[in-house]
């Protein structure tokens, strides 16, 4: 028998809270429909690609006055993409709802992500299986994967597996790309009259899968609190030793929500926000000058220490780097089968081949980078053809360039301090943490709600639970059409439909909170030390939501 930690034993006992509409029972729901919807952009193109699922209304659930008799139903579930705390509770909520609706219902978990439904690798859940994973972190209950669901052959194989298991609904738990897969699969199933529904659940610690109906993706709460604990610990160490500058790269591929939230929880000396850098068209040199200015000013105050928080995707938002990487992504797609590149004997030979293919301005930028970074930019692409920014050690690039700049200032007599840098990357540390009470409740509600959408015959929807700054009983359950969140973007050199990422709004209340305080935090040590996530105790400690949600909700209420 597996040995459990004391915390895991206690967390297995935790009963997640539900919105009052869902708590009344899956068979006692009524559904209210809103007006027809449209995609966020490129309406005509998206409508043409999703002829059978486009334009559906947003729906909400309320307690019903009568009980529904629901026939037995088999459902399949997929965990897709990177891990996020609370995924197990989505499956637990889905399982509990379908068993409550009809004890004859069955839930199958496809193993290893979307490839499981293609290859027919699955498990059937029962009470004992599910109960061992309640309120735990990770995706190890069935594993995850990044296989794309987009080809006719993949759809056909998925259909055959579903028919074999008599599955009439599939739930895909994932981020923007995974739910794009869900939208494509839903459209294909309807087009081919299969009778199989597809429902998505909004997962990603990056926090970039959201709109008015999806206030936050699950896992963001737990991950940011985990990172904030680590940053707070480092700040305490820096404030004690008073001799190190810590450069902390923090997960978040395209959007800076994670870095921004962690900064608001800890108040470091420097926080870079990718979206701001792009809007202001800041060059790499101007970023270095900005950071050096703070380092020099602190040194003049006798403070040769500090904390800098750097979003993972920063390098793609620096204008000259963004242009170069976009050019490089296209070139790398063509070099995959190029014998000269594949058989190059040294990494420098590969550098030369790439530089000769790049546009002149982009080649100049690429050539100016340290060999370490140049090599990392050539690493294998992700399934969408993009550079894997987590493998680019941006924090070390900044340290190297800052060190060079400070040496130059020292030789001119403009810097008298000592610069002892330390680099960190916080990513995987937060993806599988024990979910916070908020994420445990939110995820369970999302899963429970996913079956509510299935029970009303809906397909091509994303499970939505709103009003999240209130207590769970006041949360609003419902669904949003996946096509409502879509636009056209370039992938692998082609324009494809994808769910639009929600980036940091520079005119929004969350960024404004940082902007109003960053000058004070830069020179005066206003460090906060959040400590570990708390699961037991007063609600103001255990159930508090993120600064991001609180600030966004405050603005929303103020505008009413």
| Residues that are catalytic | 206
Q: What are phi and psi of 213, to 5 degrees?
A: -95, -25
Non-local CB neighbours of 329 within 8 Å, separated by 6+ positions: 381, 385, 386, 387
* Residue 258 near residue 252, CB atoms below 8 Å: yes
Burial of 309 (0-12, 13-18, 19+ CB in 10 A): buried
H-helix segments, 132-273? 152-164, 176-191, 220-241, 257-266
Residue 199 and residue 151: Cα distance in Å, rounded?
19
Reading the block at residue 474, the tokens are: 């006041």
Q: Which residue has the tokens 């709460």?
A: 221
In eight-state DSSP terms, residue 87 is H
Task: Dump strand ranges (E) for 166-244.
Answer: 167-174, 197-202
Residue 139 and residue 229: Cα distance in Å, rounded?
22
Task: Return the closest-CA partner of residue 552 out of 502, 507, 503, 509.
Answer: 509
Phi-psi map region of 470: left, alpha, beta (phi>0 left; psi -120 to 50 alpha)? beta
> Sign (positive/negative) of CA torsion 92, 93, 99, 105?
negative
Q: Which residue has the tokens 């709004």?
A: 505
Q: What are phi and psi of 508, to 5 degrees?
A: -90, 165
CB atoms inside a 10 Å sphere around CB 534: 15
Reading the block at residue 15, the tokens are: 């009963």
CB atoms inside a 10 Å sphere around CB 521: 21
Reading the block at residue 502, the tokens are: 């929600």
């Amino acid at each position: 028998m597996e040995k459990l930690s004391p915390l895991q034993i206690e967390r297995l006992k935790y009963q997640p809270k539900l919105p009052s509409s869902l708590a009344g029972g899956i068979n006692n729901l009524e559904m209210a429909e809103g007006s027809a919807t449209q995609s966020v952009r490129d309406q005509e193109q998206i409508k043409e690609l999703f002829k059978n699922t486009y334009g559906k209304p947003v729906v909400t659930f309320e307690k019903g006055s009568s009980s529904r008799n629901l026939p037995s139903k088999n459902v399949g579930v997929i965990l897709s993409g990177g891990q996020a705390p609370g995924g197990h509770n989505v499956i637990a909520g889905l399982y509990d709802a379908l068993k409550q609706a009809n004890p004859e219902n069955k839930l199958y978990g496809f193993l290893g992500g979307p490839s499981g439904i293609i290859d027919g690798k699955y498990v059937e859940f029962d009470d004992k299986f599910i109960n061992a994973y309640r309120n735990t972190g990770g995706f190890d209950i069935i594993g995850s994967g990044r296989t794309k669901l987009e080809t006719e052959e993949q759809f056909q194989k998925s259909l055959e597996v579903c028919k074999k298991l008599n599955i009439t609904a599939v739930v895909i738990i994932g981020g923007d790309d995974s739910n794009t897969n869900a939208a494509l699969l839903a459209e294909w199933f309807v087009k081919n009259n299969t009778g199989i529904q597809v429902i998505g659940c909004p997962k990603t610690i990056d926090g970039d899968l959201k709109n008015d109906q999806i206030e936050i993706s699950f896992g963001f709460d737990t991950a940011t609190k985990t990172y904030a604990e680590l940053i707070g610990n480092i700040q305490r160490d820096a404030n004690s030793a008073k001799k190190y500058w810590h450069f902390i790269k923090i997960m978040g591929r395209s959007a800076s929500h994670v870095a921004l939230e962690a900064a608001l929880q800890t108040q470091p000396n420097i926080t870079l926000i990718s979206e701001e850098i792009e809007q202001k068209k800041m060059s790499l040199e101007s970023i270095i000058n900005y950071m050096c200015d703070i380092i020099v000013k602190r040194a003049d105050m006798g403070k040769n220490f500090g904390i800098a928080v750097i979003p993972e995707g920063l390098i793609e938002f620096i204008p000259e780097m963004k242009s170069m990487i976009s050019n490089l992504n296209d070139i790398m797609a063509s070099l995959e089968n190029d014998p000269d590149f594949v058989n190059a004997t040294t990494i420098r030979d590969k550098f030369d081949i790439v530089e000769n293919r790049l546009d002149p301005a982009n080649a100049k930028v690429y050539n100016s980078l340290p060999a370490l970074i140049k090599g990392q930019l050539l690493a294998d692409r992700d399934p969408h053809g993009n550079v894997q920014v987590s493998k680019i050690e941006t924090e070390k690039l900044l340290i190297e360039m800052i060190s060079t700049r400070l040496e130059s200032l020292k030789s001119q007599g403009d810097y008298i301090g000592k610069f002892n840098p330390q680099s960190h990357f916080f990513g995987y540390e937060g993806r599988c943490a024990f979910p916070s009470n908020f994420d445990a409740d939110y995820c369970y509600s999302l899963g429970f709600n996913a079956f509510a959408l299935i029970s009303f015959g809906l397909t091509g929807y994303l499970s939505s639970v709103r009003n999240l700054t209130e207590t769970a009983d006041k949360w609003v359950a419902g669904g949003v059409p996946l096509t409502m969140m879509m636009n056209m973007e370039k992938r692998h050199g082609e324009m494809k439909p994808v769910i639009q990422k929600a980036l940091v709004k520079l005119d929004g209340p969350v960024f404004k909170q940082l902007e109003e305080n960053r000058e004070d935090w830069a020179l005066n040590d206003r460090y906060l030390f959040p400590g570990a996530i708390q699961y037991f105790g007063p609600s103001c400690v255990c159930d508090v939501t993120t600064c991001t949600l609180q600030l966004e909700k405050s603005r929303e209420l103020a505008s009413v």
